[in-house]
Amino acid sequence: MMKHVMMSMGLVMAVSFAMPTFAAPTADNASDMATNCKIEVVDVGAILQSSAQANQAKTDLKAQFGKRAKDLDAQQQQLQTLKDNFKKNQLTMNQSDRSAMQDKISATEQKLINDEKQFEHDFETARNGQMTKILGQMKSAIAAVAAKNGDTLILDTHTVLYADDSLDVTDEVKTAFESAAPSSPSTAGQTTDNASDANQTNTDDVSGS
């Protein structure tokens, strides 16, 4: 379970700021749009890949959740040690000690499951908060470029089969987007994490050696 949590955390950090695609024009209205609208395109993914906002958000998530991920890994190792010791010594243990060890293993395992679920919930909440903030800045940057250029529609290049290079406003949008980059590291979401850490501390005695 812990390997799954760590892998999920890594993958989410790697792709968490991929921009959702926008629907391309349908065949029915493409002709009207071509004659009545000024259309340009932007490569949102390329902007996000190198943006200060996305990089800062990834750094914030790692700083906020890195220690908890390591703590979960330590709990997993502790649980495995308890299981190994029980398997090795159960034949020489009296009934009382055997029952006590089994109860301890069960309690430790349940705590790990609960902490992993809380971790995943908190991480997803924080990631979504970062994502909402960044996408809001991206939409504002695109709207600003559209207003300046008199565009009716700006499409993501990944939804378009072909567009002339003259229609690409990626550099303009990138400049507008980067101008909204925060001047100091974000601390959003730390309150939730601290609250969860406090809740975790209340059950630490269950996983003692």
Residue with tokens 């939804």: 159
Q: Which of 8-22, 98-112, 120-134, 143-157 has the lowest mean pLDDT?
A: 8-22
> What is the C-alpha to C-alpha distance for residues 185 and 188, in angstroms, rounded to an integer?
9
By C-alpha distance, which of 45, 2, 1 is closest to 20?
45
Which residues, at least 6 apart from 191, have a Cβ–Cβ distance to it below 8 Å?
Answer: none
> What is the C-alpha to C-alpha distance for residues 206 and 90, in angstroms, rounded to an integer?
20
Count of other CB atoms within 10 angstroms of residue 123: 25
Q: What is the structure's pLDDT at 37?
A: 84
State the pTM of this model.
0.65
Q: What is the structure's pLDDT at 181?
A: 75
pLDDT over 50 (residue 124): yes
Q: What are the DSSP calls for 30-71, one per residue?
A: HHHHHHH--EEEE-HHHHHHT-HHHHHHHHHHHHHHHHHHHH
Q: What are phi and psi of 86, to 5 degrees?
A: -65, -45
Compute the average pLDDT of residues 57-69: 95
> What is the C-alpha to C-alpha distance for residues 107 and 165, in angstroms, rounded to an integer?
62
pLDDT tens, position by position, 66-115 = 999 999 999 999 999 999 999 999 999 999 999 999 999 999 999 999 99
Q: Degrees (nearest 5) of the Cα angle 123, 127, 129?
A: 120
> What is the C-alpha to C-alpha distance for residues 121 and 114, in angstroms, rounded to an integer?
11
pLDDT over 50 (residue 183): yes
pLDDT tens, position by position, 141-180 = 999 999 999 999 999 999 999 999 999 999 999 999 999 8
By C-alpha distance, which of 21, 57, 1 is closest to 189?
57
List the domains of the chain with CATH numbers: 15-198 (3.30.910.20)
pLDDT tens, position by position, 84-97 = 999 999 999 999 99
Q: What is the structure's pLDDT at 82?
A: 97
Which residues, at least 6 apart from 141, have a Cβ–Cβ distance to it below 8 Å?
Answer: 173, 176, 177, 179, 180
The answer to whether 119 and 5 are in contact (CB under 8 A) is yes
pLDDT over 50 (residue 188): no
Instruction: Calculate the average pLDDT of the chain.
Output: 80
By C-alpha distance, which of 108, 63, 61 is closest to 83?
108
Q: What is the structure's pLDDT at 137?
A: 95
